[in-house]
Structure 1
Amino acid sequence: MATPTLPKIWETFPELSEPLHAILTEMSASWHIGFDEIDRAIRSQLNAGKLVRPALTLIFSQLSDQNYNKSAISLGASVELLHLATLIHDDVIDESKLRRGHESIQSQFGKDTAVYAGDYLLTGMFSLLDSADKPVANKLALTALQEILFGELVQKQNRYNLDTTFPTYFSQIKGKTAALFKLSATFGLVSSKTYNTELLDTVSKLGENIGITFQLLDDYLDFESIMDNLSLGKPIGQDIRNGIYTAPILFALADSEVQESVKSLLLKRDEISDSEMILLHDLIISSNAMIKLEALLTEYSESLVTLITALPNIAMQNQLNQLSQLLLNRHN
């Protein structure tokens, strides 16, 4: 199987090009199971990811050394395989037809093939963990898996819950999104020569903050793109139809001016029509929801800068600031 090409975003990070290619090569070696349909299913998703998480592993591995060691490559590849596996399984649970602008594995090949493909990628993750030969990485991976599962269960328990609170919402995204960013960052630290428990705490907080900020922006962009997707004939409001209420919805539900109108539309659950989804979109845009979400994004972005500045390596600070700006400017 040919190694996938790097996403264009890494053209601005030439120093990461070679190690990211090495990560893709390691991942490709884990993608051939010998069952044609599973192989084709996994291959269908290969070129869609941005590789942000393994890039974080590489950046944090440079705390003490400018050279990317074999452990950093293996751990970066393992975290991306875990990420892919969770996406495939998510699509099965949500019955999503699209993933990253392409037909999802579960839609194209069926749910059984999707589950097997996700499971196989998990075995690849554990194989790469073993080859990294960093026992502490195994403990970090176990914790991340527990956090991811907890986030999924919190989300499942609160589907269609109009009383969902922000603490509950943050429990969801800390598990579903931030746990993998935190794991990516701490994997980088573990592969470096400067690993210690004090730095682990700092890097964990930073990785989690990146993940939360990333998800908040995703929530903002997903809601903002509803009208664009409608004009392109793409499905709209899938999270809302599935009873998954993100930050724009929660802020609108707290706004007395639109609260009741928003609730009446959400009570339609998965039977809400596209025209009603447009009405919901317009109600939320007319409320203070997006302004409050922008303020929350600013708060987390400023906290991110503070945490990055506390790191002992100036070159790494610059890389992280550059990457953070790239991720935060996705809407431009």
Structure 2
Amino acid sequence: MQLHAMWDEYPALSKDLQEVLQTIEKNIQIRDKHVEQNVKDLIHAGGKLLRPAFALLSAQAGPDFDKDRAVSIAAALEVLHMATLIHDDVVDDSPLRRGIPTIHSKYGRNYAVYTGDYLFCICFKILSAHASSVENIEFNSKNIEKILMGELDQMRTSYKMDVTVREYLTRISGKTAQLFALSCYSGASGSKASRMTVAKCYNIGHYLGMAFQIIDDVLDYTSTDAGLGKPVLNDMKQGIYSLPLIYAMKGHLAEFEPLLSQKLDMTDDASEQVLALISKYNGVEQAFKLANKYTNKALREIKKLPAGAYRDDMYRLTKSILDRDI
């Protein structure tokens, strides 16, 4: 199984991530083999596997590290991520995900929705098998609830031109950062790390997820289809206004309103005008600056973890988040 080239620098972690993918494949059994194959294609379509990677690294922060258990937990969290992606694609009507056709574009919305639901069940099945207490199950459930609330917040604020930075941060905290936080938390708590270490890992995941999503949103305004594997500016046309646009619109809404009001019918010329305005008002630069602040917060927390090779890898991996093409 071919992993993203970034993992060549982490041979031990790369091997564990291969086991994560194998675990996911073993747990996915759908009667419709065409849909099953499409899900497996998504698994191998070049996703970076950052969430399971941080779960695996965080698991080494505790005294009771068990690789098989860590791999299973990491697999469950990647399955959860896949479920949210499939549902996202239905809501956004995206034709591509990671450069391949989405499930709903090939088989229809019903198939996609139920496939996403099925993956949620697989996630719960794996996590429940490794939960050390009812308290852990409750914690996992509450965090998954927060993830879904983030998705609902995104729908609630769609096409809202006066959306605030605070509303945006609340949305991505649930939609993206919560899963990173849950990944780090689950890894550390599964290996019986101290409460303080588990809390630090949770915070690391949160800060990391915030930075990751902001940069991902920046890429929507700076990347091409080939580089990103999904339609550029698709989020904006769907009414999902992210940080570069929100920063640029602040105090200049009158310039954006006639362009954004075109919604799904936005012309290429209007899109270019929006990009020009975002550049004029430094939306990308302001967003990237905030992403950098969150990344630095994560790096400071990582330095406070118990020493070890895992901590060095976590630090290096977190820094690499800012190396994506902006």
**TM-score, shorter chain, exceeding 0.5:** yes
Residues in 1 aligned to 2:131 and 2:111: alpha-carbon distance in whole angstroms: 31
Shift of 1:325: 2.1
Give the TM-score of the pair, scaled to structure 1: 0.91
Runs of at least 5 residues in structure 2 that lack an aligned partner in the other structure: none
> Does residue 212 of the first structure (1) align with residue 210 of the second (2)?
yes
Q: Which residue of 1 aligns with 2:124?
A: 126
Identity of aligned residues (%): 32
Q: Which residue of 2 aligns with 1:151?
A: 150
Q: Which residue of 2 aligns with 1:318?
A: 312
Q: Which residue of 1 aligns with 2:189?
A: 190
Matches of residues 100-249 of structure 1 in structure 2 within 5 Å?
100-135=98-133, 136-196=135-195, 198-225=196-223, 228-229=224-225, 235-249=231-245
Letter in 1 for 2:259: L
Shift of 1:66: 9.2
Give the TM-score of the pair, scaled to structure 2: 0.93
Letter in 2 for 1:134: S
Residues in 1 aligned to 2:13 and 2:158: alpha-carbon distance in whole angstroms: 40
Cα distance, 1:233–1:190 mapped onto 2, change above 3 Å = closer
**Aligned-residue CA RMSD (Å):** 2.1
Shift of 1:113: 1.2
Matches of residues 81-92 of structure 1 in structure 2 within 5 Å?
81-92=79-90
SS in 2 for 1:212: helix
Residues in 1 aligned to 2:227 and 2:242: alpha-carbon distance in whole angstroms: 23
> Which deviations, in whole Å up to 9, do the C-alpha atoms of 1:198-226 show, x marking residues without a partner?
3332221111000000001111111111x
Shift of 1:133: 3.9
Letter in 1 for 2:146: E
Residues in 1 aligned to 2:228 and 2:53: alpha-carbon distance in whole angstroms: 32
Residues in 1 aligned to 2:42 and 2:75: alpha-carbon distance in whole angstroms: 15
Q: Which residue of 2 aligns with 1:14?
A: 11
Cα distance, 1:230–1:10 mapped onto 2, change above 3 Å = closer
Residues in 2 aligned to 1:107 and 1:126: alpha-carbon distance in whole angstroms: 27
Q: Tell me: higher relative CO, structure 1 or 2? Use CA pairs within 8 A at least 6 residues apart.
A: 2
Letter in 2 for 1:108: K
Matches of residues 94-105 of structure 1 in structure 2 within 5 Å?
94-105=92-103
> Which deviations, in whole Å up to 9, do the C-alpha atoms of 1:115-172 show, x marking residues without a partner?
1211221121122113324234422321221111111111111111111111110111
Structure 1 residue runs of 4 or more that deviate by more than 6 Å after TM superposition: 230-234
SS in 2 for 1:45: helix
Residues in 2 aligned to 1:301 and 1:46: alpha-carbon distance in whole angstroms: 27
> Which deviations, in whole Å up to 9, do the C-alpha atoms of 1:257-316 show, x marking residues without a partner?
xx3212221122222111110111111112121221122122222222211112122433
Residues in 1 aligned to 2:188 and 2:22: alpha-carbon distance in whole angstroms: 22
Letter in 1 for 2:12: E
